[in-house]
Structure 1
């Protein structure tokens, strides 16, 4: 897959997610993994985790770490005769 070659930090977790979606489709719906393709990939914003980092003189600095939800939709390639 092309995700193996991309230099981005998030490409490996997305690759694992695609493999997991294909494995779920093969296990629960009895689909062939080779005939699946991605029709929709969506990333939506989730909760924000808030932390505080201690600073000098008793002050604090807030850290906001955003999370996200990733949705992958797979379909089957219909073979034409």
Structure 2
């Protein structure tokens, strides 16, 4: 197996919307490691903090494989749907409305320039 494909980090069962997360991941895809960290630091969205932690984890995984952080770019960054947490909201006259709280799995793969 190629060692480049092993430089990755995964966050699972995160209480974030998949669509909102994908919007942010699309912004950092193809960027180098340092630039992506900088972009995530100054974006005002909730998933940015979690995505930044996953990206830093992938960077540390690259250091363990003896790669320099300045030589890394983001090859793949994607979010898949996780299981939905199902809840009920009580309503008038004994009714109940279903609430589905989404979760997602974020994967970031790094490669060399």
Check whether TM > 0.5: yes
Deviation at 1:60, TM superposition (A): 2.4
- Structure 1: any 5+ residue segments left out of the alignment? none
Instruction: Work out the CA distance in 1 between the residues paired with 2:82 and 2:49.
Output: 20
| Alignment RMSD | 1.5
Aligned position for 1:75: 111
Aligned position for 2:45: 8
Deviation at 1:13, TM superposition (A): 0.9
1:24 pairs with one of 57, 61, 78: 61
Aligned position for 2:82: 46
Question: Which of the two has greater strand per residue?
Answer: 1
Aligned position for 1:35: 71
Deviation at 1:21, TM superposition (A): 0.8
TM-score between both structures, scaled by the size of structure 1 = 0.79
- Structure 2: any 5+ residue segments left out of the alignment? 1-37
Question: Which of the two has greater helix per residue?
Answer: 2
Instruction: Work out the CA distance in 2 between the residues paired with 1:23 and 1:36.
Output: 11
CA deviations on 1:2-54 (whole Å, 9 max, x unpaired) are: 11111112111111111111111212x22222211101111111211101233
